[in-house]
Amino acid sequence: MKITKWFKKENIIENIAAKSKPEVIAELSRICVRNGNINPDRMVQALLEREKLGSTGIGDGIAIPHGKLAGLDEILISFGISRSGVDFEAMDGKPVYMFFLLIAPEYSTGQHLKVLAKISRMLKDENFRHRLMEASGREEIYRIITEKDDAS
């Protein structure tokens, strides 16, 4: 399974402006839905509800906010980097710098979990994370993610 089936270069934010968890989720949600018919506020609400179950900040400067949304036709993925870090209530208590946001159709449990697992595996690679943080722009970030997606 390739995440690049759903992940597009246009859904990358090189330098997230947000300074809080809700702001990060809103910023990454808006970029996902700008060309669709999904209300970004509904998407943000679904993701914040999921965060109430436990933070998706998994440590090592990474968060993977994810959830499901009724009325969505396909999985949407966005990626962003915060150069200053955001308190995302991560498991290790440290700021988060890299965010993969994943939202899936309400009834796509299997596919949703496979994509989530793939992103998690990719982000376990310290060299991959370092390359993303050092990338000079959207094109390079997309190339690094695509290469890793193809290799895993």
Average pLDDT over residues 76-86: 96
Burial of 37 (0-12, 13-18, 19+ CB in 10 A): exposed
Signed CA dihedral, 132, 90, 93, 13: sign only: positive
Confidence check: pLDDT of 108 > 90? no
Two structure tokens written together for 140 = 């390079």
Residue 131: how many other CB atoms lie within 10 Å: 17
What is the topology classification, in CATH, of domain 3-151?
Answer: Mannitol-specific EII; Chain A (3.40.930)
pLDDT, tens digit, 9 for 90 and up, residues 47-68: 999 999 999 999 999 999 999 9
Average pLDDT over residues 41-46: 93
Average pLDDT along the chain? 93
In the residue annotation, 66 being an active-site residue is answered as yes
Task: Kindly name the residue from 47, 62, 66, 123 that is annotated as catalytic.
Answer: 66
Q: In terms of Cα–Cα distance, which of 149, 147, 138, 148 is closest to 15?
A: 138
* Confidence label for 40 from pLDDT (cuts 50, 70 and 90): confident
The pLDDT of residue 50 is 93
pLDDT, tens digit, 9 for 90 and up, residues 3-37: 999 999 999 999 999 999 999 999 999 998 876 67
The pLDDT of residue 107 is 86
The pLDDT of residue 136 is 92
